[in-house]
Amino acid sequence: MKKVLVAISAASVLIISGFESRGLLAAAPQASPPQPAKAQDTQDQPSIVGTWLASYDGGFRKALVQWHKDGTGSQFLNFAAKTGNALMGDWKMVDDQTVSAFLIGWSYDDNGDTLTGYFTKVETVVLTHDGYSGHFHVTFYDLQGNVIFDHEGTLTATRVSADQ
């Protein structure tokens, strides 16, 4: 019985391959690939794509930030890693110089042993050729989704490159 099924399967593949090569089978509709976020860096349009050193609330907190051309990003804050310092999320161009981002990360107790919740951060920044600045809003939640802490502030960032 197994030999018969294998033979039928092999014959089916050969027949379908023959139809495809002659264009007799309609091509399956292909999903459009996701369109990457606008990432051009022309003289008139700076790009957020790359690695940045960000400063929050006048330097009270800092972060290493990376924005990818596919519209995703990640940040590593200067909190202790064991208590939750990594964020990931998405960004989009609002206009030629304004970027909006939504990021999320896990939070843990002071020992880093127990997951206590998560936090979100929304940023809106205006790009220049050598940096960006704007506002952020961070909200910490417990595991049930209740707000524990909410804060708004300002941020600035400078591009980090091998040339520096």
- The parent domain of residue 78 ranges over 50-159
Residue 25 located in a structural domain: no
Residue 127 located in a structural domain: yes
Residue 6 located in a structural domain: no
Q: What amino acid occupies position 11? A: A
Number of domains in the chain: 1
Residue 103 located in a structural domain: yes
Of residues 29 and 50, more confidently modeled: 50
The length of the chain in residues reads 164
Give 62-101 pLDDT, tens digit per residue: 999 999 999 999 999 998 888 889 999 999 999 999 999 9
Give 101-112 pLDDT, tens digit per residue: 999 999 999 899
What are the backbone angles phi and psi of residue 41, rounded to the nearest 5°? -125, 80
Residue 50 has pLDDT above 60, yes or no: yes
Distance, in Å, from the CA atom of 67 to the CA atom of 45, rounded to the nearest integer, reads 16
State what percent of residues in the chain have pLDDT above 70: 71
CATH number of the domain that 89 lies in? 2.40.128.120
Of residues 126 and 41, more confidently modeled: 126
Show the CA angle centred on residue 128, arms to residues 101 and 132, nearest 5°.
40
